[in-house]
Structure 1
Amino acid sequence: MRKYVTYTRVSTKDQGRSGLGLEAQQRDIQLFLDNYSEVPWEIVGEFQDVQSGGDDDRPQLRAALEQCRRIGAELLVAKLDRLSRKVSFIAQLMDDPKLRLRVATMPQADKFQLHIYAALAEQERDFISARTKAALKAAKARGRALGGLRDTTMKRNAAIQQKAVTEAKTLLHIIAPMRDAGKTLAAIADALDKMQVSTSRGGKWTAKQVSRVIGRAGQLE
């Protein structure tokens, strides 16, 4: 039987409390198990950290790795960046003869491919950081006031935000009972569409939009 230890991670305590990000990771892991894993399979451990991916000293990750090494299970993560954002750390794990790593969103990837992907992702993050710093420096050189908006723009944005929060409060009366009943964000979105409840822009509901409504409604509490 194929044995797995699953590991999920979010970056902030707010994400950890709300489930944002965790639900998507759990969904991807389940998709892998249902469609790509050898059968039969068994999840023998589940670990979760609420901590930055730049910090590789995470207690739940340590525990997950220890269990994998001890019983010969594979470490299963939804995405490679949930494990770490550092290519050096990922490379160290892949070099461990007692550890096997599986990434749900790249079900056929071998160690070499995962290493290349981690290196490219790290390079992209470095480039984005450098580009952002260069843009801020150029704007400052042109004498622009960084981070400021004109009063009229700020007032208009505030009015739009207040309208969205008020609408969210009304929608929460429909969403809250489904959420309290344990329905997922995706299931709630599907139910709203079936009830022909319109989004603010008249489109179809998504799990992300449902989450946004719940967050906005909370601003009035």
Structure 2
Amino acid sequence: MKEAIAYYRVSTQRQGRSGLGLETQQLAVASYCQFHDYALLDEVIEVKSTRKQQSRLLEALEQCKLMNASLMVARLDRLGRDVEKIARLIKSDVEIIVTDNPHATRFTIHILAAVAEEQRQRISETTKDALAAARKRGVVLGKNGKRLAKQNKRAAQAFARQIFPLIQKLRSRGISTLRGIADELNLQGVPTFRGNAQWHASTVFALLHRLNK
């Protein structure tokens, strides 16, 4: 059996204490280990790290080197958002596994990180240009759209908190994979946030992801 050390990163102290910010990542890692025959040796949790300093990530890498284990993360952005830093990580001797993209090679991980950074920059620039153009036209910006977006986000997060105890019960019964949880929710006729009764692994993942925001 192959061995791995999981690295989780959450953005706030509240998420770290409550476990809500960990649930999505832990579920993804547990599912990957189950289906790919990995033994999880340890879990390293980083709370409220910055782009410049992630001391526990370095600690996890050192553990992997000592134990000849792979470093496992739920999503690429848990390693950080800085392309140069990710490039340094993938040049190390430690194998890095990203569970939501399990076939990614070191080269692929580097490319994905670069693309994500470019998209963030492009979105930021496009948004700024659009706002500047709207101001020139005399448009009053943001109040209604922002209010509706916030209301929708709050409603989605409230729904996720409502469903989360049910997911915990399913996990206590041994149903721990995203697909297994989705199938059981469908069997029980539990509606999704959009009002239909069709859950998928991606729907469950998205719901748990909302709890991490």
TM-score for the superposition, normalised by structure 2? 0.69
Please tell me whether residue 119 in structure 1 is matched to residue 114 in structure 2: yes
Equivalent residue runs for 1:193-204 within 5 Å = 196=189, 202-204=195-197
* Larger mean Cα displacement after TM superposition, 196-205 or 59-68: 196-205
Tell me the matched-pair count: 194
Equivalent residue runs for 1:103-182 within 5 Å = 103-149=98-144, 178=166
Q: Relative to structure 1, is the Cα distance of residues 180 and 102 closer, same or farther in structure 2, using a 3 angstrom cutoff?
A: closer
Shift of 1:47: 0.8
Equivalent residue runs for 1:45-56 within 5 Å = 45-51=42-48, 55-56=51-52
The structure with higher relative contact order (CA 8 Å, sep 6+) is 2
Q: Secondary structure at the residue paired with 1:149?
A: helix
Q: Relative to structure 1, is the Cα distance of residues 178 and 101 closer, same or farther in structure 2, using a 3 angstrom cutoff?
A: closer
Shift of 1:55: 1.6
Spell out, residue by residue over 1:54-75, the C-alpha distance to the aligned partner (whole angstroms, 9 max, x if none).
5241232232122112222211
> Superposition RMSD on alpha carbons, in Å?
3.9
| Stretches of structure 1 lacking an aligned partner (at least 5 in a row) | 215-221
Match of 2:23 in 1: 23
Is the contact between residue 83 and residue 114 of structure 2 (CA under 8 Å) also seen in structure 1?
A: yes
Q: Within 2, Cα distance between the matches of 1:131 and 1:31?
A: 38
Shift of 1:11: 2.4
Q: Relative to structure 1, is the Cα distance of residues 104 and 130 closer, same or farther in structure 2, using a 3 angstrom cutoff?
A: same
Is the contact between residue 170 and residue 181 of structure 2 (CA under 8 Å) also seen in structure 1?
A: no
| Stretches of structure 2 lacking an aligned partner (at least 5 in a row) | none
Q: Choose 1 or 2 for highest CA Rg.
A: 1
% identity of equivalent residues: 39
Spell out, residue by residue over 1:83-117, the C-alpha distance to the aligned partner (whole angstroms, 9 max, x if none).
111110011112223x2212112222221121111
Q: Secondary structure at the residue paired with 1:118?
A: helix
TM-score for the superposition, normalised by structure 1? 0.66
Q: Which of 64, 67, 84 in structure 1 is aligned with 2:63? A: 67
- Name the aligned partner's letter for residue 40 of structure 2: I
Match of 1:94 in 2: 90
Q: Within 2, Cα distance between the matches of 1:96 and 1:122?
A: 21
Q: Relative to structure 1, is the Cα distance of residues 80 and 177 closer, same or farther in structure 2, using a 3 angstrom cutoff?
A: closer
Is the contact between residue 65 and residue 75 of structure 1 (CA under 8 Å) also seen in structure 2?
A: yes
Is the contact between residue 51 and residue 58 of structure 1 (CA under 8 Å) also seen in structure 2?
A: no
- Name the aligned partner's letter for residue 118 of structure 1: A
Shift of 1:23: 2.2
Q: Within 1, Cα distance between the matches of 2:141 and 2:48?
A: 30
Is the contact between residue 189 and residue 210 of structure 1 (CA under 8 Å) also seen in structure 2?
A: no
Q: Within 2, Cα distance between the matches of 1:57 and 1:77?
A: 17
Q: Within 1, Cα distance between the matches of 2:106 and 2:165?
A: 45
Please tell me whether residue 32 in structure 1 is matched to residue 27 in structure 2: no
- Name the aligned partner's letter for residue 60 of structure 2: A
